[in-house]
Amino acid sequence: MHIDEVVHSWPGRLCCSRFDEETGAFLTIAVDSTQRGPAAGGTRAMVYESFGDAVRDATRLASSMTSKMVAAGLPMGGGKSVIALPVPRAQLEPEVWQRILDRHAENLAMLNGSYFTGPDIGTGPADMDVLHQRCGFAFGRSEQAGGPGSSAPETAHGVYVAVRAAAREAGMPELDGATVVVQGLGAVGMDVARRLAGQGARLVAADVDALACERAADELGARIIGVDDVLGFAGDVFVPCAVGNMVDDVVASGIDTRVVAGAANNVLASDSAARVLSRRGIVYAPDFVANGGGAIHLIGREVLGWGPEKVAAKVEDIAHTLERIFRTARALRISTDEAAHRLVRESLDQAAA
């Protein structure tokens, strides 16, 4: 994507980028909003087709973090970091990755607390330990380093709660015997799959990682399908837990489940995809609501001083937020995504007034 398109379509506050010639990494931090408090959102490290694509991902993900904070009732703004790597993280020499983290920490220090980072795709608690030690502006350190540890279990629980709420809305009070298609069997996807299997769901799953597939088949009896067969697979619930931007209008027209609810950020490639799903009677749980468990864990534990029980109760509340969104969508005959954005706008406008 050309950078001009990104600039013209993003209403956020600040986006800063830096190219590190020595490692070939292109680092971006996007701060979407600080209206409710300092911005926060994870650091995503992966390979992008172009630097424009990386900046677009950072800005869209940052906006989504603002909505996530509002929907979860957290007193923070939205931000995100994207590190566009020259090769996949697993192929980087450890010292090259350390240098990239050092550059990232320098950039975070320059923002001086307007933005706090945390884990996302390609980074984890061990990286947050390093960033926190270098600059202090990182959530999600490992428990050994005094942090709250991985956010994946709370994210997974929130997604499970969201799947159940969306299934109820679609007329499926129980998941026993329901066919659930899980895309991505990483830290969150595998955990969600385990929780759904515990409810008697029949699992169908796909991942680009053959080992992850083997684990899901052995441990949970999942039927493994090809990654290209996921989007049109006939089932009851589709649970996207891999990367985002894969449901465009065409994909939305072909999805063959009654529910879409998952962990991936920015599942929808466009606003119109939400309308397509809605017209087809497919219940979509807006991603920034369904995957809010990780943010609730990190901000709850590190900013608000909550214990695990309070965090767990707030994650359960995701069901109530979704029920409110579903009611609004029904009453106003709009998509659930529009209803969720309406809720966010109203809340931000109220705070501004």
Q: How far apart are CA 268 and CA 251, in angstroms?
A: 10
Q: How far apart are CA 282 and CA 276, in angstroms?
A: 9
From the list ligand NAD, ligand PPY, none, partner contacted by residue 189 (C-beta under 5 to 8 A by kind): ligand NAD
Q: How far apart are CA 222 and CA 214, in angstroms?
A: 9
For ligand PPY, give the closer residue by CB, 37 or 232. 37
Residue 249 has a CB neighbour count (10 Å cut-off) of: 16
From the list ligand NAD, ligand PPY, none, partner contacted by residue 298 (C-beta under 5 to 8 A by kind): ligand PPY
From the list ligand PPY, ligand NAD, none, partner contacted by residue 243 (C-beta under 5 to 8 A by kind): ligand NAD
φ/ψ (deg, to 5) at 283:
-80, 115
Min CB(308)–ligand NAD separation in Å: 15
Contact between 73 and 295 (Cβ < 8 Å): no
What are the residues whose beta carbons fall under 8 Å from the beta carbon of 309, sequence distance 6 or more? Answer: none
Site string for ligand PPY, 143-162 (x = CB under 6 A): --------x-----------
Site for ligand PPY in 299-318 (CB under 6 A): 299
Residue 41 contacts ligand PPY per CB under 6 A: yes
From the list ligand NAD, ligand PPY, none, partner contacted by residue 123 (C-beta under 5 to 8 A by kind): none
What are the residues whose beta carbons fall under 8 Å from the beta carbon of 31, sequence distance 6 or more? Answer: 12, 13, 14, 15, 39, 62, 77, 78, 79, 111, 114, 115
Site string for ligand PPY, 250-289 (x = CB under 6 A): ---------------x------------------------
Which one of the listed residues 68, 80, 310, 314 is annotated catalytic?
Answer: 80
List of residues contacting ligand NAD (CB under 6 A): 120-121, 151-152, 155, 183-189, 206-209, 212, 227, 241-244, 263-265, 291, 294
Distances (CA, A) of 200 to 160, 217, 271: 13, 15, 33
Segment near ligand PPY (CB under 6 A); pick from 38-46, 92-100, 217-225, 277-285 = 38-46
Residue 244 contacts ligand PPY per CB under 6 A: no
Element (H, E) at 347: helix 336-352
Min CB(240)–ligand PPY separation in Å: 14
Contact between 138 and 115 (Cβ < 8 Å): no
User: In the set 38, 118, 189, 286, which binds ligand PPY (CB under 6 A)?
Assistant: 118
For ligand PPY, give the closer residue by CB, 172 or 267. 267
User: In the set 26, 139, 284, 326, which binds ligand PPY (CB under 6 A)?
Assistant: 139
Contact between 223 and 205 (Cβ < 8 Å): yes
**68 assigned to active site:** no
Q: Report which residue type is found at 25.
A: A
DSSP annotation string for 41-61: --EEEE--S-HHHHHHHHHHH
Write the DSSP symbol of residue 101.
H
From the list ligand PPY, ligand NAD, none, partner contacted by residue 196 (C-beta under 5 to 8 A by kind): none
Residue 40 contacts ligand PPY per CB under 6 A: yes
Instruction: Supply the residues annotated as catalytic.
Output: 80
Name the site residues for ligand PPY (rule: CB under 6 A): 40-42, 118, 120, 139, 151, 265, 294-295, 298-299
